[in-house]
Amino acid sequence: MTNEPRVADRPSTAYVAVTRSVPMSGLAGVADEIPRVIQQADRLGLAPAGPPFFRYVVIDMARELVVEAGVPLAEIVPTGTDLGDLEAGVLPAGRYATVVHTGHPDTLEGATGRLLRWAADAGLSFDVRPSDRGDVWGCRLESYLTDPRVEPDLSRWETELAFRLADDPS
């Protein structure tokens, strides 16, 4: 089940993440790193400001995806902080096409397709540009709203999709 898509304004948000380049078949391995990212952020005293996420940076479905598995933070990481293999960044502010999907993670592809079609039908353009490595997204997120320790039934998990829109032409 997916709720109705909408456009939402989102503020810039600091985060830490691991970045990986993987084929589609390697996404589960990157997802497995989320608990470690959360633990490392906690160990460093970095307060989370929301649920963990996947950020799709570059997408070439036939070859490779560049993805980040991360956690948003309440404030920017102080300069000089030793993050180990984590990287600090800022999710950009802006208008996002969003939808919350309830269901098994394997059904997210359908929810993504519905969000993309909804945006196209509404005349919205995404912050994405082609490159020789694939489509480079300004910000394309899957935020995992359900804590699997609390809700083990994958069919009840909620995931927010949030794709940054291109700047207003005004």
Alpha-carbon Rg for the chain in angstroms: 16
The model's pLDDT over 78-124, given as tens digits with 9 standing for 90+, comes to: 999 999 999 999 999 999 999 999 999 989 999 999 999 999 999 99
Domain presence at residue 112: yes
Question: Residue 49: is its pLDDT beyond 80?
Answer: yes
Helix, coil or strand: residue 41? helix
Domain presence at residue 158: yes
Domain presence at residue 169: no
Tokens 């069919």 identify what position? Answer: 155
Question: Residue 57: is its pLDDT beyond 90?
Answer: yes
Number of domains in the chain: 1
Question: Which pLDDT value is given to residue 3?
Answer: 84
The model's pLDDT over 114-131, given as tens digits with 9 standing for 90+, comes to: 999 999 999 999 999 999
pTM over 0.85: yes
Can you give the residue range of the structural domain that contains 134? 6-164
Domain presence at residue 60: yes
128: nearest Cα among 116, 119, 139: 139
Question: Which pLDDT value is given to residue 167?
Answer: 76
Question: Which pLDDT value is given to residue 55?
Answer: 98
Distances (CA, A) of 140 to 37, 148, 164: 19, 22, 6
Question: Which pLDDT value is given to residue 170?
Answer: 40
Domain presence at residue 1: no
Domain presence at residue 32: yes
The model's pLDDT over 133-155, given as tens digits with 9 standing for 90+, comes to: 999 999 999 999 999 889 999 99
Beta carbons of 87 and 69 less than 8 angstroms apart: no
Distances (CA, A) of 41 to 18, 31, 63, 139: 11, 16, 31, 21
Please classify residue 132 by burial: count the beta carbons closer than 10 Å to its beta carbon, then call 0-12 exposed, 13-18 middle and 19+ buried. exposed
CATH number, domain with residue 128: 3.20.80.10
Sign of the torsion formed by the C-alpha atoms of 141, 25, 115 and 156: negative
